[in-house]
Amino acid sequence: MQAMLSAARRVVYLHGFASSARSTKADFFAERLLARGVAFQSPDFNEPDFAMLTMTRMLERLAREIKASGERPVTLMGSSLGGTLAILAAARMARLVDRVVLMAPAVMFAKPGHHLLPPERIAIWRHQGSMPFFHHAYNEERSLSYGFYEDTLQYDAFNAVFHQPTLVFQGLRDTAVNHRTVEQFARDHLGVTLSLLDDDHQLIASLPRMWDDIEAFIGLVP
């Protein structure tokens, strides 16, 4: 299936939770893709207000980005929670997504045993209605509504059905996403190629290695 695809012409990068559309990874890939003539977008899911962020809102924003290309399929590249979004969008918009690249994807986000916070903190979050989280884009704590957590419970990226060729990078020293969970996800989905790396959740040290694989995966290498 992958061999039949033409080279990617547009990549949409999806940043992680409490991260930035101008993160180190986003800027790294933007520079290289634009230099190869590939259109690159990185929507800021923190807008218009991080406090009222939900997965549903992010998916709706992503759907608008994808549809902006008309009938031309896009390649999705997602980091952490952005990987969750990429999986869900690939399942929902199969005709408009041709490939998927996942980096430390949070495939079990908000599922039992994989919560954003320990159960006791979730209870406090529910009682208070909001909870502060350190936000890397703003370099400070920002409040987030409990509605974010409630909304995520309706989505299941781990069991989503999608068929696009998918390249996954996962750090063996990742303390946020368990590499064994990602390994199981890869085994359960056809067309998924998993690369396990000696790296942490950010995967910054592995960027050059990942680019070599991505460049070939999206058809930029003859």
CA distances to 81, 136, 183, 196, 215 from 105, in Å: 6, 18, 11, 12, 19
Instruction: Give me the domain span that covers residue 143.
Output: 30-204
Q: What is the number of domains present in the chain? A: 1
Q: Which residue has the higher pLDDT, 184 or 119?
A: 184
d(CA 102, CA 119): 27
- Residue-wise pLDDT tens digits, 52-108: 999 999 999 999 999 987 888 999 999 999 999 999 999 999 999 999 999 999 999
Hey, is 65 helix, strand or coil? helix
| Residue 11 is assigned to a structural domain of this protein | no
pTM of the model: 0.94
Q: Is residue 179 part of a domain?
A: yes
Residue 166 in any domain: the answer is yes
Q: Is residue 15 part of a domain?
A: no
CATH number at 188 reads: 3.40.50.1820
The DSSP 8-state label assigned to residue 50 in this structure reads G
pLDDT tens string 6-36: 778 999 999 999 999 999 999 999 999 999 9
- 52: tokens are 């009222």
The answer to the question of residue 35 being in a domain is: yes
**Torsion angles phi and psi, residue 135, rounded to 5:** -110, 115
pLDDT one-digit tens code per residue, 160-206: 999 999 999 999 999 999 999 999 999 999 999 999 999 999 999 99
Asked whether residue 146 is domain-assigned, the answer is yes
Radius of gyration of the chain (CA): 17
**Alpha carbon separation from 133 to 17, 122, 136 (Å, rounded):** 10, 13, 9
Whether 101 is in a domain gets the answer yes
* pLDDT of amino acid 85: 97
Three-class secondary structure assignment of 116-172: CCCHHHHHHHHHHCEEEEEECCCCEEEEEECHHHHHHCCCCCCCCCCCCCEEEEEEC
Residue 175 covered by a domain:
yes
